Structure 1
Amino acid sequence: MADIVIIGSGAGGGIAAEQCAKAGFKVLLLEEGAWYQREHFVMEERWAYPQLYQEGAARKTRDQAISILQGRTVGGSTTVNWTTSIRTPEPTLAYWQSEFGLNFSAEQSLTPYFELAEQRLNIHAWPVPPNANNAKLQQGCEALGWEYTVINRNVNGCANLGYCGMGCPINAKQSMLVSTIPEAMRLGATLISRVSVRRILWRQDKVIGIEAVPVDQYFQPRTDIKLTVSAKHYIVAAGAIGSPALLLRSKVPNPSGRLGKHTYLHPTVISGAVFAEQINGHSGAPQSIYSDQFVWPKDNNQPGYKLEVPPVHPVLMATKLTGMAEQHAALMQQFNQLQVTIALLRDGFHPQSQGGTVHLDNAGQPVLDYPLTDYMWQGMRRALLSMAELQFAAGALQVLPINHQAKAYHNWSQAKAAIAQLPLAPLQQTVVSAHVMGGCNMSDSANSGVVDAFGRHFQLQNLSIFDGSILPTSLGANPQLTLYALSWRNSQRLVAELGSGLKL
C-alpha cells in the first residue's frame, strides 16, 4: 500500500511525484508508456512516433479531421515536446475568474510557482540566434510591424540539434524524465511503466483502490493480468484525454455534467513557404520565436491565434503536406527550402468555441469528438491569411496554405484572393494539435466543474486531478509551464492537508 498513487508521469504527475516524495510520503507512480532513456533516443521518426506517442502519433478526433500529437512515455509530453515554456496569459486568468470564480491574484497568484518551476527546470530565454525556420517568422513580423517574442525553453546544455520531438539524446531537455522523476525515485518513490489504470474503485465519497493491467508491445491493455492498488490519496494525471476517460470508465459522480466535456485543442492550421535559400527546418531549436499579434483581438467575435513554427522533419511534413503523387513529391524535393508557420487557435472563450467531448469506445478506450464551428473556421481563414502575408513579407518565393484545394501562390495578392475562397471543412482543411486541455475542469463550484481550484475532486475526497484536463479553457499559450506551476501549487496544498491528517 502506498500513501499516494499518481496515475501518469507527465507535467502534472512528474511535479507531484517529486513534491510528495520530498514531503516524506510513499509514492507510487504509474505510467502507461515505456521508460525510455537518452540512449534510446536515436533521432529517428520511425522509432520515436510508435514508441513515444499516443496511438503511434496517429491519434485523431472521431471524424479524423484533427490530428493530435500527445506523448505516451515516462515523462509524458514533456519528453517529446518542443520545450516552449510560457506563463499563463493574464487575460486567460481573468476569464477564468469571471466565468468560473477562480482567483489567481494576490496571495493566490501563480507567480511564485512559475518562478519555482523556472528555476527547477532551467527555463530561460533562448540565447542562441533562431534557426532559419524561426528567423523567417521574426523577419516577417519585423517587416509588417507585428509583435514577436523570444521563447523561454526548459533546457540545460542544449546542443541545438532540433530533434526535441523524438526525445532528447543528451538529456538537455529538462523534462520530467530527467528531472523530477529521478529525484522522486531517489527519495523512495516507485515507478511502474507499461501499466494502464482501467478503473478507480470508489464507495460513497472515497476512492478505495484502483484496477490496472499491463500493456502489450503495442501498448494495448492486456486482459490476462489484473493489478489492484490501494492508497490514502489518488492523483490522476493521465492527460486531458486519458484522465476523463479513466473517470468515465469508473463511473465516478458527475453532478455538473462536465466530465469529459469542454476538451480543448488549440486547433492549428499550417502554412508552408518555399524560399530561395536553405531553411533546413529540421536543424536547431524547434521553437525559439512566437508572435502574439493576433491572440487577443479586440473583437471577441474573432477567434485569437498564436503564430509559431514547428520542426520540419520528413515524416511529420509528408503526412501533413497536401497534394498527391507528383505534386507531393515535388514539394518534398524542396524540403530543405521549406519554411513552415503554424497558427494555434485559442478555443474555449466564446459560445461557439466550447471544445469537444471525450467518449469511450467498445473497449473502453477514449475517442474525442471535436466539432469545428463556423466561428472556428472563420478564425482559421484569418490565420491562413496572416501566415501567408507574413511569409511573403519574409521573402518567400511561394506560399502553400495546407488545404487540399490550395495551390502554391507566388505573391501576397494572389494568395489573399485564393485563401478567401478556399473550402474550409473537415478533411479539406488540414488541422492538427499538440495541446490537449480540459475535460475535468476546475471551478469554484461543483455545479460548474469537476475539481476545485486546487485540483481536488468535488465528490471524492481523496481524489485529485493534476494535469491539463483541469484547465477550464485553452490557454492561448503552450501549456507546459502552466501545468508545472499549477501542479506545484496544488501538490503543496495537498501535502499540507495530508500532513495535518485532513481528508485522508
Structure 2
Amino acid sequence: MSKTDHLDYDYLIIGSGFGGSVSALRLAEKGYRVCVLEQGRRWTPENLPSTNWKFWDYLWQPVLSFRGFLSLRLFRHVMILHGNAVGGGSITYAQTLLVPPTSVWAEGSWAGISDWHAEMPAHYERAKEMLGVTVNKRPAAADAKLKEMADAMGVGGSFYYTDVGVFFGKEGDDPGTEYPDPYFKGDGPARNSCIGCGGCMVGCRYNAKNTLDKNYLYLAEKRGVTVCAETKVIDVRPLNDCADGADGYVVSTVPTFSRWKPKVRHITAGKVIFSASSLGSQALLFSLRDSGSLPNISVSLGKRVRTNAESILGVRYPGSQEDMSKGVAIGSGIYIDQHTHVEAVRYADGSNLLSSLLTTLTAGRQGASRPLYWLLAFIRLLLTRPITAIRSVLPYRFSRETVIFLVMQALEGHLDMRWTRPWYWPFKKTLSTHGAPIPTFIPAANEFTRKAAAATGGVGMSSLSEIFFNVPMTAHCMGGCNMASSAEDGVIDAKHRVFNYRNLYVIDGSVIAANLGVNPSLTITALAERAMSFIPDKH
C-alpha cells in the first residue's frame, strides 16, 4: 500500500491549462490517482458565444457575473489578457505553436541549471505531436495582406505561414468534413476539418481547433482523472502540521460563482501542482504565504515577470470588400528585424468587441504627451480622409476590415509583482506591478505599421491602453515563479519542485525565465512534458 493511498488523491493539480493538462495525462499513465481543479467553466460548441459582443459569455469577471473565458487585467504597467476555462487558455488562444530561438535558454535565472539544448528538442517534438502541430493550410486575405506589406518593406523573405494546432483534414475534402480520431489511433474524439471562419479566439464551434479538452485533458479523463470545473482554490496547507509538506496537503475549495457563504470543500493529496497560469499561480502562492499556510515560499515570488515585450497594432481598411476575418486566428508572420516578430491576427466576422481597444496609429513619446499626439494624428486623418477616419473608429465591420498585428520581441525586460492592498479597495490584497515602465510602443513596429498602411491603402491602428494609460497590452504573461538554482533567485528548482517544500510543484507559464519572442504555449507544454519525465511510475 502506498503511503498516500489513505488520502483522496496522489496528485492534485490546480489549473487545467497547458501545464495542468499535460501533468494530468502523464501522471494518470504512470498509475497515480489525479484530480484537476479548474475555476473556469467547461465549454462545448453548444454554449460557446457566437460573437464576443456576448461579453457576459466571453469575458471573465465573476464579481460582475461575467462567466466567459477571457480575462482582461489592467495593471499600472501593463494590460494582460489570459484565459479561464476547462482547458485553460487553449479555449481562447490562437493555437500558434512555435519553438523560440535557442538563445532564450542562456538568459534569465534558468541559464546553466540544465542542459537545455540537449533536453528540450525531444520534449518539443512530443508536445507538437500531442497538439497536432501543422503548417497553416487555410491562408486567407489577411495573410496575403501581410505578405504584401512585408514585400513593400523589404522583409518579404521572412514571411511564413504559422505552425498551428488545427485539424485541416485531407487535401481535396470539403472544409468541415468529419473524420474519426486522426491523432491518437482512435483513442481521441472524432474531429472536423477547419472551415477557416477566423473564430479561434472566440472558441472554436466547429471541432477543428486542437484545444486541450480534445487531447491531453480528454485522454486524461478517459484514464480516470477527475476534473472539477467551476472550483476555486482558497487554501493549500500541509497535513499533520508537517511544515515542509512531507505528509501531503489539504486543499480547500469553494464554488467559483457562489456569492453568499459558499460551502468549503477539503481535499487531501500527497502532492500538489500549481498550474493556474502565471497570474493565477502567483496570486495563489502570494496569498498562501501571506496567510501562513505556506510561509516559506521564496522571496523571489513575483520577481522578473515577463510579457514578451509585446505591442498590439493593426491596419484597417474601411469600406474594403476583402474579408480579413477569414482563415485561422494567426495565420502568418514576419520578422521586421532580428529581434522583432509580427503576426497577423484576426477575429470572426461580427466579433467586433475588441475594436474598443484600438484607435488611430500614434507615434510620439510615451507618457503624458501621447494623448496629444493621438489627437493630432486623428485630426490629420479627419482632415485628409474624413470618411475613412470616421469609419476607422466605428466597431461596425471591424473584424472584416482589420489585420491586427501581434508584435513580440525576444529582448530582456521584466516587471515585478507584489501582493498589496490597492488604494481603491483597501479591504483585500491583490497583485500589483512594480518596476521600471515597459515601453508602451515599439518604434520599429510603429514605423512598420505606418509604412505598411500607406503602402496598402489602409489606416494604421494603435492600442488605446498604450496611448491613454501609458501601458502596453499583452496576451503572454510569463514568469513570477521562475526556475533557478536556489531560492534566492527563483521559486522552483530545475525539476519544478518548490524550494523549501516537499511534494509541491509549479508547472505553467510562471516558470519561464526569459522573453521567448514567440507565443509561449508550445514551450509551456514542452516544459510540462519535461517535468513529468522526472516523476517515476507509482508502482
Identity %: 24
Q: What CA distance in whole angstroms lies between the structure 1 residues aligned with 2:341 and 2:301?
A: 28
Tell me which of 431, 445, 453 is aligned to 1:383.
Answer: 445
Do the aligned partners of 1:295 and 1:476 also contact (CA within 8 Å) in 2?
no
Change beyond 3 A, Cα 1:255–1:177: closer
Q: What CA distance in whole angstroms lies between the structure 1 residues aligned with 2:61 and 2:520?
A: 18
Residue of structure 2 equivalent to 1:34:
41
RMSD over aligned Cα atoms: 2.9
Deviation at 1:102, TM superposition (A): 4.2
Residue of structure 2 equivalent to 1:369:
433
Deviation at 1:441, TM superposition (A): 0.5
Q: Which runs of 5+ in 2 are unaligned?
A: 1-7, 168-192, 361-374
Change beyond 3 A, Cα 1:425–1:42: closer
Q: Does 1:427 align with 2:489?
A: no
Q: Which runs of 5+ in 1 are unaligned?
A: 297-304, 405-423
SS at match of 2:312: strand
Tell me which of 65, 68, 71 is aligned to 2:80.
Answer: 68
Q: Does 1:339 align with 2:402?
A: yes
Residue of structure 1 equivalent to 2:187:
none
Residue of structure 2 equivalent to 1:168:
204
User: Which residues of 2 match residues 104-503 of structure 1 at below 5 A?
Assistant: 104-106=116-118, 109-128=119-138, 130-146=139-155, 147-156=158-167, 157-202=193-238, 203-206=242-245, 207-216=248-257, 223-251=261-289, 252-253=294-295, 256-266=298-308, 267-274=310-317, 277-296=320-339, 305-312=340-347, 313-321=351-359, 331-332=393-394, 335=398, 338-346=401-409, 349-350=411-412, 353-359=413-419, 361=421, 366-369=430-433, 373=437, 376-377=439-440, 380-393=442-455, 395=456, 397-402=457-462, 427=468, 431-494=472-535, 496=536, 499=538
Q: Which moved more, 1:305-314 or 1:8-17?
A: 305-314
Deviation at 1:85, TM superposition (A): 0.5
Query: C-alpha offsets along residues 456-476 of structure 1, whole Å, 9 cap, x if unaligned?
Result: 111111011110000112211
Query: C-alpha offsets along residues 273-293 of structure 1, whole Å, 9 cap, x if unaligned?
Result: 327743423222111111233
Query: C-alpha offsets along residues 472-504 of structure 1, whole Å, 9 cap, x if unaligned?
Result: 12211101100111111111212x1x637xxxx
Do the aligned partners of 1:384 and 1:401 also contact (CA within 8 Å) in 2?
no
Change beyond 3 A, Cα 1:392–1:441: same
Do the aligned partners of 1:33 and 1:52 also contact (CA within 8 Å) in 2?
no
Q: What CA distance in whole angstroms lies between the structure 1 residues aligned with 2:13 and 2:427?
A: 23
Counterpart amino acid of 2:284?
L
Query: C-alpha offsets along residues 367-424 of structure 1, whole Å, 9 cap, x if unaligned?
Result: 3426563x724x623321122223434x2x24334266xxxxxxxxxxxxxxxxxxx9
- Count how many residue pairs are aligned between Structure 1 and Structure 2: 457
Do the aligned partners of 2:235 and 2:288 also contact (CA within 8 Å) in 1?
yes
Residue of structure 2 equivalent to 1:89:
101
Q: What CA distance in whole angstroms lies between the structure 1 residues aligned with 2:72 and 2:159?
A: 31
Residue of structure 2 equivalent to 1:418:
none
Deviation at 1:268, TM superposition (A): 1.8
Do the aligned partners of 1:85 and 1:154 also contact (CA within 8 Å) in 2?
yes
Q: Does 1:2 align with 2:47?
A: no
Change beyond 3 A, Cα 1:66–1:281: farther
Given the two structures, how large is their TM-score scaled by the length of structure 1? 0.82
Q: What CA distance in whole angstroms lies between the structure 1 residues aligned with 2:24 and 2:285?
A: 21
Deviation at 1:58, TM superposition (A): 5.4
Q: What CA distance in whole angstroms lies between the structure 2 residues aligned with 1:199 and 1:365?
A: 15
Q: Which moved more, 1:320-329 or 1:81-90?
A: 320-329
SS at match of 1:271: strand
Do the aligned partners of 1:68 and 1:433 also contact (CA within 8 Å) in 2?
yes
Tell me which of 45, 62, 69 is aligned to 2:52.
Answer: 45
Q: What CA distance in whole angstroms lies between the structure 1 residues aligned with 2:86 and 2:427?
A: 24
Residue of structure 1 equivalent to 2:184:
none
Do the aligned partners of 2:16 and 2:88 also contact (CA within 8 Å) in 1?
yes
Do the aligned partners of 1:52 and 1:72 also contact (CA within 8 Å) in 2?
no
Query: C-alpha offsets along residues 46-75 of structure 1, whole Å, 9 cap, x if unaligned?
Result: 336645646654522333x64322111100
Q: What CA distance in whole angstroms lies between the structure 2 residues aligned with 1:221 and 1:481?
A: 36
Counterpart amino acid of 2:151?
E
Q: Which has the larger radius of gyration?
A: 2
Counterpart amino acid of 1:149?
Y
Deviation at 1:345, TM superposition (A): 3.9
Counterpart amino acid of 1:4?
Y
Change beyond 3 A, Cα 1:337–1:45: closer
Given the two structures, how large is their TM-score scaled by the length of structure 2? 0.77
Q: Which moved more, 1:474-483 or 1:132-141?
A: 132-141
Change beyond 3 A, Cα 1:222–1:483: farther
Deviation at 1:329, TM superposition (A): 5.4
Do the aligned partners of 1:359 and 1:369 also contact (CA within 8 Å) in 2?
no
Q: What CA distance in whole angstroms lies between the structure 2 residues aligned with 1:255 and 1:120?
A: 33
SS at match of 1:309: strand
Change beyond 3 A, Cα 1:198–1:363: farther
Do the aligned partners of 2:418 and 2:432 also contact (CA within 8 Å) in 1?
yes
Deviation at 1:138, TM superposition (A): 1.8
Do the aligned partners of 1:15 and 1:484 also contact (CA within 8 Å) in 2?
yes
